[in-house]
């Protein structure tokens, strides 16, 4: 008797469902893992910096019933702990206990840790009027969704030093469904806020938290440096608009590792400003490493560079990447008017399944803030390397690589790359205005990429400064509500 045939559609859907279940299970396991025990009456966690002073949200009138607003409690708690943010102050930690803590946006302070209990859920209020409207970013000139201002992010800060957001895999829930609906129906006057945004900050460490249902982007460090995002789970419906995972924007020395992202947009998107506004600010994103990332995003990329890249993007290193049911692996998005450059991008050891395509470069990404962009500002894209890439279940094409006429994307290198197509196609590579070399690539690449080389592509061997950031064990004690609490190193 013949074996039953599995429908082709199911073959594509099953990996995606398995990925979602795997990621959800991983998040649940982390969330319910007990905190490590330290000395008697103390629990421990790891972070680059420990804090000498700790307080609980309960001490400031917090009510974790999911209905009562805790905006005042969060703001009072941060204000109280800010007295320890100065030189020699010892720093402060705000402990968010188990419960559902409804709040409007609030700001953090320097030398500060926001710590979430395993069963803590910070809920972003769905009352849009409670989200302050702030100025657009200087390097964008306007909001991304609309001209003019933008809503504040749920957890934010500016001009800070040494900020930690961590815990026992507690959750920050943006309750984004209201925002997505209003955005799609054109009922919002301003650009949606993000879950976490830190501006002009030196030293950001985000780990062991779960972020769900952001109104738009999840993690947005901008004009900042020395950033580590580690062990973070990000979950949003795959049809939710613009729910990017981690978006370093005009940032340097960034380390993203061991993160799991299911989203409606790019899992990681590296940016640096939009057209003439980004050119004027001139702050590149550079010295960035992404490793051990798992991504599910059926309509977007695992790692995107751009499209807002007018301050420049350089020295990006991606390795040990897994993607399931995702539109493309590494995507470069730019256009005339962006100016600047995307250069020195290295990717290796990528395992991809159920992809629409593997490689995607776009030199005509039609999105501008206004008509004032410089039509002579032509971006430079060069020195892009891919090595040791295996993609199975590729159902559209191996690659779509389209540069800019008169300014081709140069220095593309591919080695040991396999794209297994779901069915044979007459043309599996779609290329224009690109130049490069290749070795061991299946199916054979387009003619402009068939230059030969020694069989391997470059990958930097030096160590970035951000990879030298280490963690230490910190301890804290949780006293009953309304009782002072002490943190120790």
Taking residues 365-390, what's their average pLDDT?
A: 98
pLDDT at 42 over 90: no
- The answer to whether the beta carbons of residues 242 and 265 sit under 8 Å apart is yes
Taking residues 41-53, what's their average pLDDT?
A: 93
pLDDT for 484 equals: 35
What tens digit of pLDDT does each residue of 60-79 get? 999 999 999 999 999 999 99
Q: Which two tokens stand for residue 79?
A: 């204000």
Which of the pair, 361 or 87, is modelled with greater confidence? 361
- The CA distance from 213 to 197, in Å, is 15
pLDDT for 357 equals: 98
What tens digit of pLDDT does each residue of 159-215 get? 999 999 999 999 999 999 999 999 999 999 999 999 999 999 999 999 999 999 999
Domain 1-179+194-206+472-489 shares a fold with domain 266-469 = yes
What tens digit of pLDDT does each residue of 430-461 get? 999 999 999 999 999 999 999 988 789 999 99
Taking residues 400-426, what's their average pLDDT?
A: 97
24 pLDDT tier (thresholds 50, 70, 90) = very low
Taking residues 50-56, what's their average pLDDT?
A: 98
Which of the pair, 26 or 55, is modelled with greater confidence? 55
- The answer to whether the beta carbons of residues 403 and 381 sit under 8 Å apart is yes
Q: Nearest to residue 218, comparing CAs of 144, 132, 156?
A: 156
Q: Which of 52-66, 417-431, 472-486 has the lowest mean pLDDT?
A: 472-486
Fold designation for 1-179+194-206+472-489: Pectate Lyase C-like (2.160.20)
User: Domain 266-469 carries which CATH code?
Assistant: 2.160.20.10
Query: 3-state secondary structure string, 160-182?
Result: CEEEEEEECCCEEECCCHHHHHH
pLDDT for 31 equals: 41
pLDDT at 277 over 70: yes
pLDDT at 29 over 70: no
pLDDT at 2 over 90: no
pLDDT for 480 equals: 62
22 pLDDT tier (thresholds 50, 70, 90) = low
200: CB partners within 8 A, 6+ apart: 158, 159, 160, 223, 224
487 pLDDT tier (thresholds 50, 70, 90) = very low
Q: How far from 292 is each of 194, 317, 349, 351, 434, CA to CA, in Å?
A: 24, 12, 10, 11, 29
pLDDT for 454 equals: 74
pLDDT for 452 equals: 87
- The CA distance from 458 to 415, in Å, is 10
Question: DSSP secondary-structure letter at 413?
Answer: E
87 pLDDT tier (thresholds 50, 70, 90) = confident
Which of the pair, 280 or 455, is modelled with greater confidence? 280
- The CA distance from 398 to 84, in Å, is 54
Determine which helix (DSSP H) or strand (DSSP E) holds 198, and give its type and residue range.
strand 196-199
Euclidean distance between the first and the last CA atom of the chain, given in angstroms as a whole number:
68
DSSP string over 84-121: G-STTS--EEEEE-SEEEEE--EE--SSEEEEE-TTEE
Write down the domain spans for the chain: 1-179+194-206+472-489, 266-469
pLDDT for 146 equals: 95
pLDDT at 488 over 90: no
Let me know if 467 is a catalytic residue.
Answer: no
100 pLDDT tier (thresholds 50, 70, 90) = very high
Q: How far from 468 is each of 61, 155, 228, CA to CA, in Å?
A: 40, 27, 11
- The answer to whether the beta carbons of residues 190 and 217 sit under 8 Å apart is no
pLDDT for 97 equals: 98
pLDDT for 367 equals: 94
Determine which helix (DSSP H) or strand (DSSP E) holds 360, and give its type and residue range.
strand 357-362
Q: Which of 59, 173, 249, 265 is catalytic?
A: 265
Taking residues 89-96, what's their average pLDDT?
A: 98
Q: How far from 214 is each of 123, 125, 262, 303, 338, CA to CA, in Å?
A: 10, 12, 12, 19, 28
Average pLDDT, the chain: 92
Which of the pair, 41 or 250, is modelled with greater confidence? 250
**CB 402: neighbour CB atoms within 10 A?**
18
């Amino acid at each position: 008797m013949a074996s039953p045939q599995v429908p082709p559609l199911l073959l594509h859907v099953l990996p995606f469902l398995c990925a979602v279940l795997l990621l959800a299970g991983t998040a649940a396991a982390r969330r319910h893992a007990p905190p490590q025990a330290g000395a008697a009456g103390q629990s421990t966690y790891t972070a680059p910096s420990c804090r000498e002073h700790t307080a609980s949200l309960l001490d400031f009138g917090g009510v974790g019933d999911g209905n009562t607003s805790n905006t005042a409690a969060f703001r009072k708690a941060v204000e109280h702990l800010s007295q320890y943010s100065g030189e020699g102050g010892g720093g402060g930690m705000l402990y968010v206990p188990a419960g559902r803590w409804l709040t409007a946006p609030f700001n953090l302070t320097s030398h500060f840790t926001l710590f979430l209990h395993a069963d803590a859920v910070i809920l972003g209020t769905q009352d849009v009027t409670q989200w302050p409207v702030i100025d657009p970013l200087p390097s964008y000139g306007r909001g991304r969704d609309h001209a003019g201002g933008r809503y504040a992010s749920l957890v934010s800060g500016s001009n800070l030093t040494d900020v930690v957001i961590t815990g026992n895999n507690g959750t920050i829930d943006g309750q984004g469904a209201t925002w997505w609906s209003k955005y799609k129906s054109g009922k919002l006057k301003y650009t949606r806020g993000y879950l976490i945004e830190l501006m002009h900050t030196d030293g950001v460490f985000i780990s062991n938290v779960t972020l769900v249902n952001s109104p738009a982007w999840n993690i947005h460090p901008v004009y900042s440096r020395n950033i580590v995002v580690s062990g973070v789970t990000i979950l949003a419906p795959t049809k939710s608009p613009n729910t990017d995972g981690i978006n370093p924007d005009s940032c340097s020395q960034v380390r993203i590792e061991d993160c799991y992202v299911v989203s409606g947009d790019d899992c990681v998107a590296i940016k640096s400003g939009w057209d003439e506004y980004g050119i004027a600010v001139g702050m590149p994103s550079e010295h960035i490493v992404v490793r051990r990332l798992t991504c599910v995003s059926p309509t977007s990329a695992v790692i995107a560079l751009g499209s807002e890249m007018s301050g420049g993007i350089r020295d990006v290193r991606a390795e040990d990447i897994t993607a399931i049911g995702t539109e493309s692996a590494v995507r470069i998005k730019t256009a005339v008017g962006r100016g600047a450059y995307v250069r020195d991008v290295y990717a290796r050891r990528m395992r991809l399944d159920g992809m629409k395509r593997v490689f995607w470069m776009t030199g005509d990404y039609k999105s501008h803030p206004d008509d004032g962009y410089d039509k002579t500002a032509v971006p430079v894209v060069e020195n892009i390397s891919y090595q040791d890439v295996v993609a199975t279940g590729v159902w559209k094409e191996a690659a779509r690589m389209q540069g800019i006429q008169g300014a081709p994307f140069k220095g593309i290198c591919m080695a040991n790359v396999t794209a297994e197509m779901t069915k044979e196609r007459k043309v599996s590579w779609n290329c224009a205005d690109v130049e490069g070399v290749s070795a061991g690539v299946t199916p054979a690449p387009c003619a402009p990429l068939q230059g030969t080389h020694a069989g391997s592509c470059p990958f930097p061997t030096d160590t970035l400064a951000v990879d030298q950031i280490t963690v230490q064990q910190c301890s804290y004690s949780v006293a009953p509500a309304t009782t002072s609490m002490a943190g120790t190193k």
